[in-house]
Amino acid sequence: MKILFLGTPDSAVPILEKLITTQHQVVGVITQPARKSGRGLDLKDSAVSEFAKQKGLKVFSPEKIDREYFAQNLKSLDADMAIVVAFGQILRKEVLAELKFGWINIHYSLLPKFRGAAPVQRAILQGERETGISFFAIEEGLDTGPIIKSYPYQLSDSATTDSVLQELNVLATQKIEDIITGIENGSFEPVKQSGEVSTAPKINEMDLRIDWNDLSSEISRRVRAGSKRLNAWTIIGESKIKILSISENSLEDQIAHGQIKVVNKFVNVGCKSGSLIINEVIPEGKKQMDAISWINGFQDKSDLKFS
């Protein structure tokens, strides 16, 4: 089977890495164009592009895949199927009709729940106990195509966006060959999506701002929904500080909402239901550090408070 792979972020790389070890041939990799990144705003290839080039694969980076682009650049590859993971573009009907076995998307939720760009983050934010992966045939709508196969995954109380994506990728790599084989021999029959529909729009900075008047469970979910790309955050004085990890505690003392209190070298912060321990932070303009190292940078620790 000749396969096109479409993907952009680092979370899509493990699937491509798995595909090139199978009996199938990856004839081309399509990814988003290089974007400006870093303080110097230098153009930077996507993680998928960097990996594909290292492996000597043909890489295509169109701003848009339309019928003309497909005819001029992709048709000669004679692909049978496309595997799509976090690509970042909507594919049009005339392009979707080009491949014999279709365009198969790997989506990180149990569709039709959490259709959209941030299914794992939204599942964590909303306190879901279960998510999973769905292999589905792409049609023109956003994550609306018929399901080929879904696999559930249980979300623990300590699940983070990065850890869940990593484990879902492991699950996807374990199943991808079976999916391709099942589509090729006709043993997997796509089924129309059914059940509760919900959306998972892209996470923005304000989604992850911590309100210390919230319950500890809500604050915990906000922190765990953060990722390498975007973290939960709060304000102290006039500075923004990113909160990377927190944990529950059994401190009996009542602490005002947002108030910081150091007890036995643990940095405790009051919230609506008791308090939480901050473990790791990134202060504005500084590197990642443990919370006690950060707090030790304050000469006066008597009245520190997040707003």
Report the alpha-carbon distance of residue 219 to residue 210 in Å, rounded. Answer: 6
Phi, psi of 234 (to 5 degrees): -150, 180
Query: Which H or E run includes 42?
Result: strand 42-44
Rounded Cα gap, residues 33 and 43, in angstroms: 9
Which residues in the chain come in under a pLDDT of 70?
38-41
> What is the value of pTM for the model shown?
0.92
User: What are residue 83's phi and psi, to 5 degrees?
Assistant: -110, 125
Residue 138 dihedral angles phi and psi, to the nearest 5°: -70, 135
Please say whether the beta carbons of 59 and 31 come within 8 A.
Answer: yes
Residue in 232, 235, 228, 281 with CA at minimum distance from that of residue 258: 235
The CA distances from residue 128 to 106, 108, 158, 181, 246, in Å, are 20, 13, 12, 32, 19
8 Å CB contact between 111 and 147: yes
Place of tokens 């005819």: 71
> Where are the chain's structural domains?
2-185, 205-295
Give the Cα separation of 218 and 211 in Å (integer).
9
Q: Which fold has domain 205-295?
A: Methionyl-tRNA Fmet Formyltransferase; Chain A, domain 2 (3.10.25)
What is the phi/psi pair of residue 120, to 5°? -70, -45
Q: Which CATH architecture has domain 2-185?
A: 3-Layer(aba) Sandwich (3.40)
pLDDT at 81: 97
Instruction: Name the β-bridge partners of 290.
Output: 280
| 29, 57 Cβ separation under 8 angstroms | yes
Rounded Cα distance, 155 and 132, in Å: 9
